[in-house]
Structure 1
Amino acid sequence: MSSSRHGRSRDADAIRITTAGSDPRADIARRQKKYAIAMGIRTLCFIGAAITGAAGWHWVWPFLILASLFLPYVAVVMANAGDSRASDLPLTGGGDAQRQARPGP
């Protein structure tokens, strides 16, 4: 096992990069982009419902109205969805994994 200059094992300081948080500004930008896309689709559905209703396509516009009513909920849920990376998985190859592998008393 290799050790650093301070006498500690490098494995004890292991960081699992897959659970590292993202930059808060990038996260906000990602959420805003998802919300804007969903609300743009909602606007297109509403405009499409008005056009198809006026054109006499009476079977299309109710679906577009329902989509325009449902999309705000979807947009908010998508925008507020957190990062799905799990932080409860053990490290592989050192650190917490070695401590978790020890038998109990």
Structure 2
Amino acid sequence: MKVNPRHHREPAVYTVTDAPRPMSEDIGYRQRRYLMSMGVRTICFLGAVVAAVAGAPWWLAVLMVVAAAVLPYVAVIFANGGREPTASATFDDRSQREQKPVSGQRPEIRS
């Protein structure tokens, strides 16, 4: 029986770096990102109050209120967006890399 060479596949090679981050690390990362977004929201809200009391232009206070209203939605979307993709390790294909020709005789190792 003849095997078609196009259907012959090399075995898949997996590396340790292809493993995803632990779930606990991923959850911690998303929680920190969410808390930072909520901190920015709080700063926007307090800035709107200070701007309104201090007599700053009305558009500045409105802009900060709009940012404070939109940030929770954006923060939740990013927090629930799933695991972050990570780049996998790649190995050089040595068959495609050119090697410099060796000039002269190779040194001999003597015992």
Looking at structure 2, the residues matched to 75 and 20 of structure 1 have their Cα atoms a distance apart, in angstroms, of 27
Alpha-carbon contact 1:18-1:85 (below 8 Å) kept: no
Letter of the structure 1 residue corresponding to residue 85 of structure 2: S
Looking at structure 2, the residues matched to 81 and 17 of structure 1 have their Cα atoms a distance apart, in angstroms, of 25
Residue ranges of structure 2 left out of the alignment (5+ in a row): 1-9, 94-111
Looking at structure 1, the residues matched to 78 and 26 of structure 2 have their Cα atoms a distance apart, in angstroms, of 12
What corresponds to 1:71 in structure 2? 71
Give 1:51-70 correspondences, 5 Å limit. 51-57=50-56, 58-70=58-70
What corresponds to 2:25 in structure 1? 26
Alpha-carbon contact 1:49-1:60 (below 8 Å) kept: yes
Give 1:11-22 correspondences, 5 Å limit. 12=11, 14-15=13-14, 19-22=18-21
Which one has the largest radius of gyration? 2
CA offsets per residue over residues 29-82 of structure 1, 9 Å max, x none? 000000000000000000000000111112210000000000001111111122
| 1:53–1:37 CA distance, 2 compared to 1 (3 A) | same
Residue ranges of structure 1 left out of the alignment (5+ in a row): 1-10, 94-105
User: Hey, which of these two has a bigger chunk of helix by percent?
Assistant: 1
What corresponds to 2:4 in structure 1? none
Shift of 1:16: 5.1
Give the TM-score normalised by the residue count of structure 1: 0.64
Question: Over aligned residues, Cα RMSD in angstroms?
Answer: 2.6
Identity %: 38
